[in-house]
Chains A and B, each alone.
Chain A
Amino acid sequence: MNLQFTSVDFFVLKPAILLCLFGCGILLTDLLIGQQQKFLNAWVALVGLAFTGYAVWQQQSYLRGSGLQELSALSGAVTIDGFGIFFNWIFLIATALAVMISARYLEIEKEHHGEYYALLLFAQTGMVFLATGTELITLFIGLELMALSFYVMVGFLRGDRRSNEAAMKYLLLGAFSSGMLAYGFSIFYGISGSTRLSEIALAVASRGPRDPLVLLALATTCVGLFFKIAAAPFHMWAPDAYEGAPTTITAYLSVASKAASFALLLRIFLVPLQSIRPTWEPLLAAIALLTMTVGNLAAVTQTNIKRLLAYSSISHAGYILLGLVSGNQTGLQGIAVYLLVYTFMNFGAFAMVVAMRNKEMIGDEIDDLSGLMYRRPSYALLMLVFLLSLAGIPPTAGFLGKYYIFLSLIQTGHYYLAVAASLYVAVAAYYYFRIVKVMFASEETAKGEISDSPGIRVALAVSGALTLVIGLYPEPFLQLAQTSLLAALR
């Protein structure tokens, strides 16, 4: 076995290496920065992300230029392909947006430390491996690196009991789910004698769907994965973690961590488990339906926006799973489109909650948005765009995600699922419009001025603009998604 570190390895790993270097760099330079200049850390992180973005772009143009489908490194442990690169873009966007909205929020919370930005970059390093890893150990380490960073970040408000509680819950349940996943992975190793996904696929295919070991591996892996994407009935951690975490981290957690977990889930289901699709397809359909039901119905009664959006993001996970249930090209493309637009719209909605935070109020109750239309019309209209998009109403981007999912269900004959999923759109619209109603109502109960920062404004403007642009002229984004997920089918 060749254990030398080659230039190909370096090229493939470059984004992860850069993220790691900049993360460590922030930890060092933070020592030199005074308490007033902590925002410089954010700039360092953004520069790091820019370099990483360049590296990902290099990879993309190399693949395109050479006509290769994929490029493997480290003896096949890590592979860059359209799939991995697409997810890397999502992570980059999400991290950059998270960095932008954080500085002012952390100052108000009086918890502005350099570690925060370092942890963001470390978490992203883990995600990079989740999207590009093709081997169980790499995937598991990537997952744990991401999860550990998140455990710390969720509890970042050390003085806040809610934040501590959230971190504790998230840690315990997260550790449990990682354990289940590790158990499933070990059985996969046991039946195939390899940690490579492609070789596991062969072993699973030869044993067939009735084999008890395969079923055990499927069950435990599923539990672990459903925990990570917060699918019902393994979703209980999500509302508490989302509510207690610093809102900036909630935003990041809800989009980046979800996308990364879906990357892992897709890799596992589409490569090693593809051959036993008839076994897991009904299971996944049931989970998706349950997830949509739980998410949508629980969201209806929430009064806290972060909890409401937490439940709504659970229901979105259900929709995305439906894309995998149908599993044809439209479905997979739908997942890609959905995750892309979800990144912008969900991040935007959470960023709006961040913007509401000021010295007098936490800004995460629905009523805190009251009369926003008359205090800050541009914010109210942006929030309207995000909420319409989350509800899936054209011409916003969210509609396209739903469009693909519905179409794929119809193509594969899952009519009942399609009807159920579409009816939940109306339910979802109801609770999103509870927020809209408050924003446009004239009674103002909110306290204090909106004291936003340029970072928040840029983040909001970018997410809002993209939510609208993808909705109105989606062609380039659809083609991006089309190229990305084809590789995963093989």
Chain B
Amino acid sequence: MQDHLLSIILFTPLVGMFILLFIPKEQTTAIKVWANLVLFVGLLVSLPLWWRYDRGNADYQFMERAAWIPSIGAQFIIGIDGISLLLILLTTLVGFISVFSSWNAIENRIKEYYAFFLLLQAGMLGVFMSLDFFLFYVFWEVMLVPMYFIIGVWGGPRKLYAAIKFFLYTLFGSVLMLLGILTLYYQHYSQFGTYTFEIAELMKMNIPVTMQLWVFWAFFLGFAIKVPMFPFHTWLPDAHVEAPTAGSVILAGVLLKMGTYGFVRFSLPLLPDASRDSRTVWIIAFLSIVGIIYGALVSLMQKDWKKLVAYSSVSHLGFCTLGIIALNPNGLTGSVIQQINHGLSTGLLFLIVGIVYERRHTREISEYGGLSNVMPKYAIVFAISMLASAGMPLLNGFIGEFAILQGAYEVSKTWAAFAVSGIVLGAAYLLWLFQRTMFGPITNPKNEHLKDLSLREMLVVLPLLICCFWIGIYPKPYFDILEKPVAKIVKRIQPDYYQARGLPDPLPGPVPAAQLVAPR
């Protein structure tokens, strides 16, 4: 039975955008209400995925397929597994929240702003749903343009520089990724005589290891720039600092996950030999660990509140890539959960910066101090998000980082040892930030009459806080959802992983939908 749930989720923001274009630009309230409504509906229609997703099934679900460009073999194929399911839910949630948070923050060119945001939302959802490489690439590029404008038009003083830097970095990586895609596409033609971009078909190929390595590094550039991994991270602080709050939230919350998602969805399963190649593993692990520690150290030094959070993203995403390259169930599961966690907690931290920035129009940490005296509710929210981000038990960050460290430890104790230092440093810069801004007497008279959180602001942060606690206290549903898809990837790379360790195999029998590639 063809189920159109995914199409509905994908096209809700797009249709909403077209209708929005017909609202006269003077009616700002109508535009705001409409955009919020569209994304709220988008969130609601995505929720049934959670209940209807069959956790016992490792195949893609909710598949839809339609012909698109038959002469080059590109199809419209969308479908999800547990990994994309979580990321889609994260996108619809964070997308709605960031638009809701911009109610007062964006005052000029409102119509264009919300139109771009809806387009961006559709692009991001498309990336997480596409099971056809051509379609994936189109969505991947489509969301560059609205993000360019969100930073470049509504951003801070150096917005144009930051926007074009973001745009060119990503484009640079993605054109090389395109060459990798085309290489696989042509390789499939050479082996099977048909042109197709369908991921499931491409997985049936037997690709020579040298070609796998070339394609892997082409993909790597595309994805690593997006993540961003050290040393490709330099666009990130600029983009984050200049972007409006909602832009930062969506950038940190969702956009960066496209890179890690790319590794999990494409690089590992399509190029298993290249992924388990020891050089590949060591290079990526090394860059991840450098990213973790470097990001944390640079965060310690920041005087700008938002920049601190931006660099902390580099550190947190280092954990995600480390978990991926551990290539075992713990690492991969942890990595996906950590991606969700990062979306939630860093999203929260950016919202928190945005809230004081709206009141004071400065992000210098030294301008603040003792805010907990005048803004108690704010301080509590900040404390929870900060602890979530720092990985305190009972909050979400702990679960993800713990699983990743487990995975890393399994591969190499050295990795785990270095990565743990990132957690320590993480606690240091976050607690120090909290201490400098919240505790002590109010040193700056301008802060004496700051208003505490309004009802709208509480509503904005509340859903994220609930999710943080939920994952922290009872993460089992998340592990359940991820078990089969992760096992599928692991068995693709290390077919005898479960047997060799005497673990119960979540996917008995041969790996479905993909023939194993014999190592050469």
How many A-B residue contacts, CB cutoff 8 Å?
76
Report Cα–Cα, A158/B72, bound state, in Å. Answer: 49
Complexed CA–CA distance, A230 and B171 (Å): 27
Interface centre among B69, B70, B182, B183 (most CB of A within 10 A): B182
Contact residues of B between 117 and 152, Cβ < 8 Å to A: 137-138, 141-142, 144-145, 148-149, 152
Interface flag for B424 (CB, 8 Å): no
* Interface residues of A, Cβ cutoff 8 Å to B: 373-374, 377, 384, 388, 393-395, 399, 403, 406-407, 410-411, 415, 418-419, 422-423, 425-426, 429-430, 433, 437, 440-441, 473-475, 478-479, 482
Contacts of A393 in B (CB 8 A): 141, 144-145, 171
Residues of B within 8 A of A411 (CB): 186
How far, in Å, is A154 (CB) from chain B's closest CB? 34
Supposing A373-B112, A426-B175, A440-B152 touch, asked if A475 and B71 sit within 8 A by C-beta, the answer is yes
Q: Provided the pairs A394-B137, A407-B185, A410-B183 are in contact, do residues A437 and B164 lie with their beta carbons within 8 angstroms? A: yes
B65-94 interface code vs A (CB 8 A; 1 in, 0 out) = 000111110000000000000000000000
Find out whether the CB atom of B168 lies under 8 angstroms from the CB atom of A430.
yes
How many Å lie between the Cα of A419 and that of B178 in the bound state?
A: 10
Contact in complex: B70, A475 (CB < 8 Å): yes
Question: In the docked arrangement, what's the CA distance between A253 and B141, Å?
Answer: 31
CA distance A474 to B74 in the complex (A): 11
CA distance A479 to B72 in the complex (A): 10
CB distance from A361 to the nearest CB of B (A): 24
Set of chain B residues within 8 Å of A395, measured between Cβ atoms:
138, 141-142
Q: A403-B182, A410-B182 given. 6 additional CB < 8 A pairs?
A: A399-B141, A410-B179, A410-B186, A433-B148, A475-B68, A475-B70
Does chain A have a CB within 8 A of B172? yes
A433-B186 CB under 8 A given contacts A388-B145, A410-B179, A440-B149: no
Cα–Cα, bound, A415→B186 (Å): 13
6 A-B pairs with the lowest CB-CB distances in the bound complex, closest first: A422-B175, A394-B138, A426-B172, A478-B71, A426-B171, A425-B175
> Which residues does chain B contribute within 8 Å of A429, judged by CB atoms?
167-168, 171
* A400 vs B186: C-alpha distance when bound (angstroms): 16
Q: Is the CB–CB distance between B175 and A423 below 8 Å?
A: yes
Q: Is the CB of A406 within 8 A of B179?
A: yes
The residue in chain A whose Cβ has the minimal distance to the Cβ of B183 is A410
B153 contacts the other chain (CB 8 A): yes
Instruction: Give the nearest-CB partner of B108 in chain A.
Output: A442
A429–B71 Cα gap in the complex (Å)?
28
> Which residues of the partner chain B approach A479 to less than 8 Å between Cβ atoms?
71
In whole angstroms, what is the CA distance A440 to B116 when docked? Answer: 13
Chain A neighbourhood of B144, CB < 8 A: 393
Q: How far is the CA of A425 from the CA of B179 in the complex (A)?
A: 12
Q: Which residue of A lies closest to B72 (CB)?
A: A478
User: Which residue of chain B is the closest to A406 with respect to CB atoms?
Assistant: B182
Residues of A within 8 A of B148 (CB): 433
* CB of B365 within 8 Å of the partner chain: no
Q: How far is the CA of A380 from the CA of B243 in the complex (A)?
A: 22
A395-B138, A440-B152 given as contacts; is B168 within 8 A of A426 (CB)? Answer: yes
Is B160 interfacial (CB-CB < 8 Å)? yes
Nearest to A434 among chain B residues (CB) is: B164
11 example contacts (A-B, Cβ-Cβ < 8 A) are as follows: A394-B141, A410-B186, A418-B179, A422-B178, A422-B179, A423-B175, A423-B176, A437-B164, A440-B153, A475-B70, A482-B71
Closest CB in chain B relative to A185 CB, distance in Å = 37
Partner of B179, one of A374, A419, A433, A474: A419
Question: Mask for B299-316, Cβ within 8 A of A = 1, else 0?
Answer: 000000000000000000
* Contact residues of B between 161 and 178, Cβ < 8 Å to A: 164, 167-168, 171-172, 175-176, 178
Chain B residues lying within 8 Å of A373, measured Cβ to Cβ, are 112
A473 to B138, CA, bound (A): 12
Q: Nearest-CB distance from B258 to chain A (Å)? A: 15
Residues of B within 8 A of A394 (CB): 137-138, 141-142
Contact B164 A423 (CB under 8 A): no
Q: A394-B138, A395-B138, A406-B179 are in contact. Are A430 and B164 (CB under 8 A)?
A: yes
Interfacial chain A residues near B145, Cβ < 8 Å: 384, 388, 393
B167 / chain A contacts, CB cutoff of 8 Å:
429, 433
Query: In the complex the two chains form, what is the Cα distance from A341 to B173 in whole Å?
Result: 25
